[in-house]
Amino acid sequence: MRRLGVAAALAAATAGGCNWKSDAVDAAAAPTAPPAEDDAGRTSRLLYPTAPASFVDLVRDARGAVVAIRATNPVKSGPAAMFPGTTPTVNDVALGTGFVVQAGGTYVVTNDHVIADVTDVQVGLLDGTELPAKILGRDPRLDLALLSIEAPRAPALRLGDSDALQVGEWVVVLGNAFGEEVTASAGIISATGREAPGSLVKSPSLGFRTYLQVDARIHRGNSGGPVLSTAGEVIGIAVATGDRIGELSFVIPSNRLREVIEPLRTYGSVRRAWLGVWARPVTRDLAEQLGLPKVGGALVTEVSPGSPAIKSGLRAGDVVLAWDERTVDHRNLPVLAANAPIGKPVKLTLWRNRSQLELSLVPEPMPE
């Protein structure tokens, strides 16, 4: 397996688990790799440059930043309900898992659905400390929430580059829903969504292709917990889809968190734009048919009525080559569209009828 590049610490940018034996990782410690520098010049240990014999070191180094998210009053259908023999509506204060993302213990990330039905939230650290948490921002569409706590000595996890992931890479999912012990499950990246034959720039829903898919077990207890690469970096946030064995496990990519953490901290929400097209990748055969000089871009197959795309003059059969001088393909077009400043014109470079042309598009707020 290749080594993942180490991203700059989030602090520099200023930007749950059930203790079942089947989820625990119990093996002898593996040797570590020599130190490596991240892109800000800091040293970061690459724990396992190849498939590890054990995840013991990785879990030990990260566990202090994994926290339990609790309600001040008991709620129904929390992580306690997943124990055998427990009714689904059992009352419990446990909600899920979160993790510290900035040095000094200022910010905690978790799933939005974990805290959606409560107003008073507490965070439980691994040493048993219980701290009140303030909900700074929520992004229900991406299922992310940002909390603030006062814990100046709490360790923090570093965000990795989820766009660099490849199918087959090892990951570890950590959880701590009950504040007693960090649990772990391991697996590989099953799918990244980047090669999916469609695009989500047409719909206001982010949909399944927004997420990574892993074969590591994710249940209500570790929902909101960190998903780590073998370099010990957060490459995603666990999302529980259910507790039945065999269900698909989804992960919010860390780069999607990186894009929204500042608006969540500053404004408490995320305002996204939308484009209003359905797009597909441009294959080599298709590029030859269209007379494109090289393979690239995103082929528009459908345009939504009343959308910013149709107002700009985009139409089915166009190939979007660039977005404000930034090269476009079917992978990054949805992200560029969603993160575009609303109301600020964008220059689109297209390929139409075997020639290149430019259009001006004004991004609009994504419909609710």
Amino acid code (one letter) for 89 = T
223 labelled catalytic: yes
Q: Which pLDDT does position 247 carry in this prediction?
A: 67
In a domain, 144, yes or no: yes
Residues 206 and 282 in one domain: no
Which of 220, 251, 267 represents a domain boundary (last residue)? 267
With CA atoms as reference, report the closest residue to 111 among 132, 140, 131, 75. Answer: 140
Give the other-Cβ count within 10 Å of 331's Cβ. 17
Please, what are the averages of pLDDT over each run of 10 residues along the chain (368 residues)? Answer: 32 29 30 39 42 80 93 66 53 81 82 89 90 93 92 89 92 88 92 54 46 88 93 92 68 91 90 87 93 94 92 95 91 83 94 95 87
Mark whether 302 and 182 lie in a shared domain: no
Both 281 and 184 in one domain: the answer is no
Nearest to 178 by CA among 221, 224, 117, 127: 221
The answer to whether 189 and 168 are in contact (CB under 8 A) is yes
pLDDT at 31: 35
Same-domain check for residues 291 and 231: no
Whether residue 333 sits in one domain with residue 256: no
Same-domain pairing of 22 and 111: yes
Catalytically annotated residue among 23, 112, 139, 143: 143
Q: Which of 23, 38, 92, 113 is catalytic?
A: 113
- Same domain? For 234 and 332 the reply is no
pTM given for the model: 0.70
180 occurs within a structural domain = yes
Same domain, 350 and 212: no
**Which range of residues forms the domain containing residue 170?**
10-267
Q: What is the pLDDT of residues 161-200, one digit of tens each?
A: 998 999 999 999 999 987 778 999 999 999 887 544 333 3
Answer yes or no: is 2 within a domain: no
The pLDDT of residue 26 is 31
Q: Is residue 49 part of a domain?
A: yes
Parallel, antiparallel, or unpaired: how do β-strands 298-303 and 277-281 relate?
antiparallel
* Residue at a domain's end among 267, 283, 300: 267
Of the residues 235, 267, 299, the one at which a domain ends: 267
Q: Report how many domains make up the chain.
A: 2
Beta-ladder partners of 234? 159, 228
- Give every CB contact of residue 192 below 8 A, 6+ residues apart in sequence: 165, 166, 167, 212, 213
Three-state DSSP at 239 gives strand
What CATH code is carried by the domain that includes residue 111? 2.40.10.120
Name the strand (E) or helix (H) holding 259. Answer: helix 254-267
Same domain for 122 and 58: yes
Catalytic residue among 148, 162, 223, 307: 223
Residue 143 falls in the annotated catalytic set? yes
Q: Say if 236 falls within a structural domain.
A: yes
